[in-house]
Amino acid sequence: MIQYSLAELNDINAVLELQGRYQLDNISEEDKTDGFVTTPFTADQLQRLILQEKGLFVAKDESTVIAYAMSASWHYWSEWPMFQFMINELPQHTFKTETLSIGNSCQYGPICIHKKFRGTGVLEDIFDFARDAMSKRFPIMITFINKQNPRSYEAHTRKLHMTTLHEFQFNCNVYYELAYDTSQKLPSYQNYN
pLDDT in tens, 67-89: 999 999 999 999 999 999 999 99
As a whole number, the mean pLDDT across the chain is 90
Q: Is the pTM of this model over 0.85?
A: yes
Residue 65 forms beta bridges with which residues?
Answer: 60
Residues 6 or more apart from 155 whose CB is under 8 A from it?
Answer: 35, 123
3-state secondary structure of 128: helix
Q: pLDDT tens digits for 4-14?
A: 999 999 999 99
| Residue-range domains of the chain with CATH | 2-181 (3.40.630.30)
**Which amino acid, 163?**
T
Residue 2 forms beta bridges with which residues?
Answer: 61
Confidence class for position 34, pLDDT limits 50, 70, 90: low
d(CA 106, CA 123): 19
Please give the pLDDT value at position 30: 62
Does 24 or 132 have the greater pLDDT score? 132
Q: Report how far apart the first and last C-alpha atoms of the chain are (Å, whole number).
A: 16
Read off φ and ψ for residue 33, nearest 5 degrees.
-70, -20
Please give the pLDDT value at position 31: 58
DSSP E strand boundaries for 32-172: 56-61, 64-72, 94-95, 98-99, 105-113, 140-146, 163-170
Please give the pLDDT value at position 3: 96
Please give the pLDDT value at position 189: 46
Q: What share of the chain is helix, strand, coil (3-state, %, to 5)?
A: 40, 30, 30
Please give the pLDDT value at position 92: 97
